Amino acid sequence: MIKKKVNEKKYFVISVLSFTLFLTIWWICTDVLKLVPSIALPSPTTVAKTFFVKLYDPKPDGGTLIQHMSASLKVAMSGYIIGVIIGMPLGICMAWYKKVDLFVRPLFDLIKPIPGVAWVPLTIVFFGIGSLSKAMVIFMSVFVSCVVNAYSGINQTKDVHIWVAQTFGASHLKILFKVAIPSALPMMFVSYIFQESSSMPWLTIEQNTAFGLDIKKIPKQEKNERVAEAMEMVGLTKFKDYYPNQLSASMLQRVVIARAFATRPDLLLMDEPYGQLDMELRFTLEDELVNIWKNMGTTVIFITHNIEEAVYLGQRILVLSNKPTSVKKSIINNLPYSRDIVAPEFVDLRNEVTELIKWW
- Total-model pTM: 0.50
Burial class (CB in 10 A: 0-12, 13-18, 19+), 128: exposed
The proportion of the chain whose per-residue pLDDT surpasses 70, expressed as a percent, equals 93
170, 299: one domain: yes
How many independent structural domains does the chain possess? 2
How far, in Å, CA of 175 to CA of 200, rounded?
12
Does 86 reside within a domain?
Answer: no
Q: Which stretches of the chain are assigned E, i.e. beta strand?
A: 267-271, 299-303, 316-320, 327-332
Q: What is the mean pLDDT of residues 50-68?
A: 81
Q: Of 77-91, 109-123, 215-229, 238-252, which range is least confident?
A: 109-123
User: CA angle at residue 330 from 327 to 334, to 5 degrees?
Assistant: 160
Q: What is the mean pLDDT of residues 8-17?
A: 82
Are 209 and 259 contacting, i.e. CB atoms less than 8 angstroms apart?
yes
pLDDT range class, residue 193, cuts 50, 70, 90: very low
Does 317 reside within a domain?
Answer: no
Q: What is the mean pLDDT of residues 332-354?
A: 90
Would the pLDDT of 3 be above 60? no
Q: Which of 27, 54, 81 is the last residue of a domain?
A: 54
Does 126 reside within a domain?
Answer: no
Can you give the pLDDT at residue 115?
76
Domain CATH number, residue 207 = 3.40.50.300
Give the structural domain span for 50.
1-54
Would the pLDDT of 292 be above 60? yes
Q: What is the mean pLDDT of residues 176-184?
A: 81
Are 289 and 313 contacting, i.e. CB atoms less than 8 angstroms apart?
yes
Q: Which of 34, 54, 74 is the last residue of a domain?
A: 54
Does 336 reside within a domain?
Answer: no
Q: What is the mean pLDDT of residues 169-193?
A: 71
Does 98 reside within a domain?
Answer: no
341-348 long-range CB contacts below 8 Å, 24 or more apart?
Answer: 341/308, 341/312, 346/311, 346/312
Would you give the end-to-end CA distance of the chain in angstroms? 53
How far, in Å, CA of 257 to CA of 270, rounded?
9
Does 345 reside within a domain?
Answer: no
pLDDT by residue (tens digit) across 83-130? Answer: 889 988 998 898 888 898 888 888 888 887 777 777 788 888 888 888
Are 254 and 277 contacting, i.e. CB atoms less than 8 angstroms apart?
yes
Would the pLDDT of 6 be above 70? no
